[in-house]
Chain A
């Protein structure tokens, strides 16, 4: 190596000092450093190199450090466990209060989305505990929201019955109370029932019309397509974070 030559940090070949860019790889020439950015990145990406792991992280188990094979395995174990738990619940005589597959599909889909979301959070490299907490918080929020909506409706629905169960000392008052509670009860019953019947009928008919030709049993197409679309969206989002966009103008 003569005095008018330098080592390129990128390709490690000798190139003339007077040049701004490397003659071999075309990268910008900077003073040579044995710990160039490329080398440091290579070292960090080596999972078996414990030297590059910060001292506070050594000995700490982190899910994101696992190889993809273990993540996939963990995913299948979770899915299989959920499936087996559901199977055993059914075997012991519990049946969902459903007579259509629609709600079953929605339930499975939501459950699966939560699992995929958590697994994906690990794969994306975010902190698993935070992601899990966020997922659980979201789930808790949904349950809370449903409770806020459903409990008042239930209370209103059951209130006339509760009022009607009170005993009055006078038979005339009792009869009057009964009539009032019956009237409220009937009105509310009719009102709520008609709303739900209307919504239910609309959903049912639109659902049946949309897929009249498809038999529900089989290699469930909607679940498959739903999963395919969700996973594709995740992949596209990952590309969105890493892809470079440019317009080449000649």
Chain B
């Protein structure tokens, strides 16, 4: 009896139709998206700051140094400290300026990763058009491609930043210039991926607005 009531209640929920696909989300999933994703993002950001994740900074620094030597032959080296409170440093000899750069939490784009993972993991699934399996597969695909893409973009941003700084362009200037470019490319990249593979994110946000407006008109 109760099951039937629940089913009736679910069937009477708002349904959105887009390109022959039907979308219907449960309240709980929408609440998870609104509250869960910012909380998870903050949690991941602080988790990345823990000393047990020092390997990520090491890995990023080593890869940057590798690409600097591979493409530009700069003979750069990575200095890794035993004390994990000090970030790894990339040292470039014969540099016109200081020549040593610490790879901090912002350099590894921790904000962006935590934001993306937090959002993607909490995207609600529609119970109408797609199966759970296909939704999970799309989620994993989106998560992998966006994380790898942003990681590579960030690596090359730092590689070019260090190279141009080595060539005599002031750090502040080239840093601003490259952050603008990389942020634009990164944001577009993530949005395009989400729109193609997980449009449920945008549709669920629209769904929330529709529910709120419906409630207000009913009142």
Contact = CB atoms under 8 A, between A and B. Distances in A.
A244 B203 CA distance: 12
A228 interface: yes
Contact of A227 (B107, B111, B154, B188): B188
A219 B179 contact: yes
A247 B191 contact: no
A218 B107 contact: yes
Interface in B174-209: 174-177, 179-188, 190-191, 195, 201-203, 205-206, 209
B129 to A, nearest CB: 13
Contacts of B11: 248-250
Contacts of B140: none
B12 A221 contact: no
Interface residues of B, number: 47
A244 B16 contact: yes
B165 to A, nearest CB: 13
Given A239-B18, A246-B15, A219 B186 contact: yes
Contacts of A227: 183-184, 187-188
- Size band of the A side of the interface? 35 or more
Nearest to A229: B187
Residue among A86, A231, A240 with the most chain B CB within 10 A? A231
A236 B191 CA distance: 12
Given A227-B183, A244-B17, A235 B202 contact: yes
B104 interface: yes
Nearest to B11: A250
Interface of A: 72, 75-76, 79-80, 83, 86-87, 90-91, 101, 104, 108, 112, 214-215, 217-221, 223-225, 227-228, 231-232, 235-236, 239-240, 242-250
Interface of B: 8, 11-19, 104-107, 109, 111-112, 115, 154, 157, 169-170, 173-177, 179-188, 190-191, 195, 201-203, 205-206, 209-210
